[in-house]
Chains A and B, each alone.
Chain A
Amino acid sequence: MNTLISVAWHSLLSRKKTVLLTFCSLVISIVVLLSVEHIRLQAKDSFNRTISGVDLIVGAPSGQLNLLLYSVFRMGSPTNNIAFESYNMFKEHDLVKWAIPIALGDSHRSFRVMGTDEAYFEHFRYGNKQPLTFNTGEPFEHLFETVIGADVADTLQYKLGDKIVISHGMGATSFTHHDTSPFVIRGILAPTGTPVDKTVHIRLRALEAIHLSPNKLTAVIANHDLAPQPDNITSVMLGLTNKFATFTLQRNINNYPDDRLMAILPGVAMAELWSLMSTVENLLRVIALLVLISSLFGLATMLLASMNERRGEIAVLRVLGAGPMVILILILLEALILVALSVMTAMGVLTLALLSLKDFLAAEFGLFLSHNILSPEIIMMVGMVFIATLVVSIFPGYEAYKNALHTQLYKG
């Protein structure tokens, strides 16, 4: 077998130009196929990791996707706020075990700032019901303290005790900086692979305070107890004492007379959001598959086209005692070697691309992609590529087989 592989390899080398072009087309198509599959798997995974153990999310009435996007994924902007009184009502509610207030709108060097309180570090869960843990430090204690996500610390090279200034609104080019009231970093969270990593957490009251008029703010800085409770917050995450009460409570919230509220079930909203994406996802997979098939046909065409110049070669092999089956195997080996090289190259290219684009994808699209592409699904995909290769190379293989069967001593 080694001898045959070596012959197939040298045969490929002897046709460098066509082989190289076929190789390129194979690499490109396999990169497309694997990256679509990898991104799909990772996106789904990171998507489903984002939130766990939250029974209801309450916000101002809009679409459930909108509420989900801004409260969980920190994407887009809230359309409206809810009254802080409503949050107080939830905290006192019999069915509610815990409530996490969330206020959004400000940023720090394009990372979102989220106003919340201790309940967040205590009750928020991601992935498989994992709680938030601290890499270093602890939850904020004083008013102007902050807890930052792992990516924020990483990207901006922050450490405990550093002072940061929060900007009004979003974007790195904001003109209003709350620079009279810097925040001291009190804690840095361990990486979660969710939008939490990209969030700067501060106290709700601190968020309210930095928006006060300068005079009042100076007073608050002098005496933290003067910091007011906010009038409005963006949304509330609820954990219930009894899961069976979820629907009842949802209905009650939606019909709450004193404030305009909407409650969504994160699981349902996530499923809806994902199903939106799955159309695109399937479309991408189909396109990737078609690209692959077309380059496999290119491979088969290259092998078929080489058949004429191989007549002599096949006659020589026959005379040496190679049966038609051996000739067929040689052709299949050539196809397999070329595809194996393409797969390896494609995987290398994809890994490198992921390594270099990781931060960009995470920052721009909230996609947390691992550069480790060796998942069972990908390995299965590669297996299918090889099977497809065998199927497609049957055509030139059979041609060579027939050729070998009818070959006679070469008479020049």
Chain B
Amino acid sequence: MTAAIALNRLSYGYQTDKSILSIPRWSLHQGERVFLYGASGSGKTTLLNLLCGILMPTAGSIELFGHNIAALTARQRDTFRAQHIGVVFQQFNLISYLTVFKNIQLAAYFATSSGHQAPGVLSRAEALINTLGLPVEILHQQVNQLSVGQQQRVAIARALINQPKLLLVDEPTSALDASARDAFMHLLMQICEENQTSLIFVSHDAVLGEYFERKVDLTELNEESSHLAPYAVNQVVKATEGKA
């Protein structure tokens, strides 16, 4: 069984001589869920950008499900991302002037390389919206009429519409209150479990780490940032509380 993610001597720097991220070897199994944390500057965002093929490594390889994405053309990478990777950010996941359904449909549109709309997008979207505990009518509402919590759940639906094998999630709960956050986490874990989706969950919030069996401190993993003192997750939480 090929690994979902296999990093080998991965390094990345904005200037060639000065790398900011350097990971000798790391992998994630298919269906595995990992909680990724680390100090600011430990390279979390850079790693996510590399994983979804928006940044290219300066050295080393990134294999996703057996494909070396650095060897693909820019166009192929875009299509690969559309088809296999779902992404959810902290906020601004959706195009605000489109309806919820148009947003989801757009994700499906870019995943079909021929440009033909795959049939059944509406029924799949309805099913997902249902699973995420949102009313189906929400599909035809404008995104900017939704609450932040609803938007984040829609973002999950959008990220999952193409049944991606990998889900990258970056601080998705920072704009949610505690109860909404717990509901969101339960849903996310449940859906990933059902679909056997590999999940990388990035957060400062140590409490969320309790949902995961595997936790990775990027500060330690990244050789370029290991000079930073190993962080206790709790410290990070204190340091960043009230920020965003």
Binding site for B on A (CB under 8 A): 1, 3, 6-7, 10-11, 13-14, 312-313, 315-324, 326, 407-412
Residue of A13, A317, A323, A408 touching B95 (CB-CB under 8 A): A317
Instruction: Tell me whether A409 and B170 are in contact (CB under 8 A).
Output: yes
Which B residues have a C-beta under 8 Å from some C-beta of A? Answer: 45, 48-49, 52, 54-55, 74-75, 78-79, 81-83, 87, 89-98, 102, 105-107, 109-111, 115, 117, 158, 170, 244
* A412 x B91 contact (CB < 8 A): yes
Q: Is there an interface contact between A321 and B89, defined as CB atoms closer than 8 Å?
A: no
Contact A409 B98 (CB under 8 A): no
Interface majority SS (helix, strand, loop, mixed), chain A: helix
Contact assessment for A323 and B102 in the assembled complex, using a CB-CB cutoff below 8 Å: no
The residue that B102 contacts in the complex, of A6, A312, A313, A326, with Cβ under 8 A, is A6
A321–B79 touching, CB < 8 Å: yes
| Contacts A6-B102, A319-B52, A320-B110 given; does A409 touch B45 at CB 8 Å | yes
B46 to chain A, nearest CB (A): 8
9 A-B residue pairs with CB within 8 Å: A3-B109, A7-B95, A319-B52, A319-B87, A321-B78, A322-B110, A409-B48, A411-B45, A411-B170
B89 touches A10 (CB 8 A): no
A411 to B94, CA, bound (A): 14
Task: Provide the residues of chain A in CB contact with B91, threshold 8 Å.
Answer: 412
Contact B107 A320 (CB under 8 A): yes
B45 partner residues in chain A, CB cutoff 8 A: 408-409, 411
Shortest beta-carbon contacts, A-B, top 3 = A321-B82, A14-B97, A321-B110
Contact between chains at B48 and A10 (CB < 8 Å): no
Which chain A residue lies CB-closest to B87?
A: A319
Most chain B CB neighbours (cut-off 10 Å) among A7, A313, A316, A407: A316
Of all chain A residues, which has the CB nearest B113?
A321
Q: Are A1 and B81 in contact (CB under 8 A)?
A: no
Which of B48, B52, B79, B89 is the one whose CB lies under 8 Å from A412? B89
Asked if B49 contacts A13 (CB within 8 A), the reply is no
Q: Please give the distance in Å from B87's CB to the nearest CB on chain A.
A: 5
Which chain B residue lies CB-closest to A4? B109
Q: How far is the CA of A411 from the CA of B83 in the complex (A)?
A: 22
Q: How far is the CA of A400 from the CA of B219 in the complex (A)?
A: 34
Q: Quick check: B95 and A313 within 8 Å, CB to CB?
A: yes
* Chain A residue contacts of B89, Cβ below 8 A: 409-412
Given pairs A14-B97, A409-B52, 19 additional interface contacts (CB within 8 A)? A1-B115, A10-B97, A10-B102, A14-B96, A313-B96, A316-B92, A316-B93, A319-B81, A319-B87, A320-B110, A321-B79, A321-B83, A321-B107, A321-B111, A322-B110, A326-B110, A408-B45, A409-B45, A409-B170
Distance (Å) between the CB of A330 and the closest chain B CB? 11
Verify A10–B55 contact, CB threshold 8 A: no
Question: Which among A1, A315, A320 is the interface contact of B82 at CB below 8 angstroms?
Answer: A320
Minimum CB–CB distance from A2 to chain B (whole Å) comes to 8
CA distance A6 to B102 in the complex (A): 9
Q: Are A7 and B98 within 8 A (Cβ)?
A: yes
Question: From residue B12, how far is it (CB to closest CB) to chain A in Å?
Answer: 12
| Chain A contacts for B110, CB-based, 8 A | 320-322, 326
Q: Complex Cα distance A313/B106, Å?
A: 12
Chain B contacts for A312, CB-based, 8 A: 92
Q: Contact at A11–B97, with CB atoms within 8 Å?
A: yes
The CA of A318 and the CA of B244, in the complex, are separated in Å by 23
Q: Are A409 and B78 touching (Cβ within 8 A)?
A: no
Q: Which of A14, A320, A324, A407 has the most CB of B within 10 A?
A: A320
- A321 — which chain B residues lie within 8 A by C-beta? 78-79, 81-83, 107, 110-111
- C-alpha gap A321/B79 in the complex (Å): 6
A14-B96, A320-B110, A408-B54 are contacts. A3–B117 as well, Cβ < 8 Å?
A: yes
Contacts of B54 in A (CB 8 A): 318-319, 407-409
- Docked Cα-Cα span, A180 to B203, in Å, equals 105
Chain B nearest CB from A345 CB (Å) reads 23
**Among the listed B48, B55, B74, B109, which residue makes an inter-chain contact with A323, where contact means beta carbons less than 8 Å apart?**
B74
Instruction: Please indicate the chain A residues that have their CB under 8 angstroms from the CB of B81 in the complex.
Output: 319, 321
Of A6, A14, A316, A412, which contacts B244 at CB under 8 A? A412
Q: A318 CA to B107 CA in the complex, in Å?
A: 10
B117 cross-chain contacts in A, Cβ below 8 A? 3
Q: How far apart are the CA atoms of A409 and B170 in the complex, in Å? A: 9
List chain A residues, Cβ under 8 A from B94: 316
Contacts of A326 in B (CB 8 A): 110
Shortest Cβ distance from residue B4 to the other chain A in the assembled complex, whole angstroms? 18
Please determine whether A3 and B244 come into contact, CB atoms closer than 8 angstroms: no
Query: Given the complex of chains A and B, what is the CA–CA distance between A408 and B45 in angstroms?
Result: 9
Residue on A nearest B105 in the bound complex, by CB:
A3
* Residue contact A412 to B97, C-beta cutoff 8 Å: no
**CA separation between A10 and B78, bound complex, in Å?**
23
Closest chain-B Cβ to A244's Cβ sits at a distance in Å of 69
Docked Cα-Cα span, A94 to B45, in Å, equals: 101
Judging by beta carbons under 8 Å apart, are B92 and A323 in contact? no
How far does the Cβ of A236 sit from chain B's closest Cβ, in whole Å? 73
What's the nearest-Cβ distance from chain A to residue B219, in Å? Answer: 17
Chain B residue nearest to A6 (CB atoms) is B102
Q: In the bound complex, what is the Cα–Cα distance between A319 and B158 (angstroms)?
A: 11
Across-interface contacts of B244 in A (CB, < 8 A): 412
Q: Which residues from B are CB-within-8-Å of A320? A: 82, 106-107, 110, 158
A60–B74 Cα gap in the complex (Å)? Answer: 81
Given A317-B95, A408-B45, also A7-B106 (CB < 8 A):
yes
CB distance from A42 to the nearest CB of B (A): 43
Q: Which residue of A lies closest to B48 (CB)?
A: A409
Residues in chain B near residue A412, CB distance under 8 A: 89-92, 244
CB distance from A119 to the nearest CB of B (A): 71
Considering the complex, give the chain B residue whose CB is closest to the CB of A405. Answer: B74
Closest approach, in angstroms, between the C-beta of B118 and any C-beta of chain A?
12
B162 to chain A, nearest CB (A): 9
Closest to A312 in B: B92
